[in-house]
Each structure stands twice: as C-alpha cells, then as structure tokens.
Amino acid sequence: MTSERDPRTATCQCGQLTATCTGEPRRISVCHCLDCQRRSGGPFAAQARFMNEDVAISGEYRVWTRIADSGTKAEHHFCPQCGSTLWYALADQPDRIAIPIGAFADPAFPPPAFSVYEERQHKWVAILGDHVEHQH
C-alpha cells in the first residue's frame, strides 16, 4: 500500500545513510523498555514501522544484533560513520522495519498510537492522547 503524499526520508546524523518511505507507517509507538532507552539515549524511544516494500535504503550500514525484552531477535542497522541507528528489524516481524521518528526530523510526523513497557516508564514522562493504547 503506497501513499499519495510525498515520500518521507529518514537520515543518519551525517546524511550518508537514508531510508525513503513511500507508504504510511503501519504502527507508530513509543517504547519505555530499558534497551530502547539505551538505544535512543532518552527516557523512551519513538519509532514508526513500515512495510519493507515501502522503504528504500541507500548508503552504507553495519548491523548489531541483540535479543529484545520480548525474547525476539532485533537487528539494529546503523551508520558506520556517525553511529546513528537508522532502522531495526524484529525477527518475529520479518515483513516490516522500524525507523526512529527523530530520524525523519519532521515535527509534523503523526503521533504515536501505542505506548509499551510502561512499567519501565520514567515517573515524570506522560504519553498523552485519547487515541493512545497503553501497555504495561
């Protein structure tokens, strides 16, 4: 499924690695798990999941693999020059990839509909909106 809107492009910090997305995100979420906090450097991570066929990757990248809190394998793809993670893929969702929302540098990006691992959420963080599904 492709969108009628202009493609969205996510980039690493130095710009050599890009992900151009022609479809709409299938899921937009924030995750409060400790691994996402470490990966993002913030109190939570925000990401948009796209179908693989809706994303074109350009540039050089490296892969680091870990086992996620859910128990599934997660492959993180990052720029070897600046170190930015541009996307990750979960073994139990082989048809889609997740891209950190900040990599789009677009303040108009749609808001998250899911907030997960809230038992690890910092007490001063609030994910607001009547449309948000909260999962502990």
Q: pLDDT band at 131, cuts 50/70/90?
A: confident
If one compares 58 and 133, the residue with the highest pLDDT of the two is 58
- How much is the CA Rg of the chain, to the nearest whole Å? 14
Do 72 and 91 meet the contact criterion of CB atoms below 8 Å apart? yes
Residue that is written with structure tokens 């992900």 in the block: 19
> What does the pLDDT look like over 82-114, one tens digit per residue?
999 999 999 999 999 999 999 999 999 999 999
* Separation between Cα atoms, residue 81 and residue 67, nearest integer Å: 25
pTM: predicted TM-score of the whole model, two decimal places: 0.90
For 8-134, the fitting CATH number among 2.10.109.10, 1.10.3720.10, 3.40.50.2300, 2.170.150.70 is 2.170.150.70
Instruction: Please determine, for residue 3, whether its predicted confidence score (pLDDT) is greater than 80.
Output: no
Q: How do the domains of the chain map onto residue ranges?
A: 8-134
Report the pLDDT value the prediction gives residue 129, as an integer from 0 to 100: 87
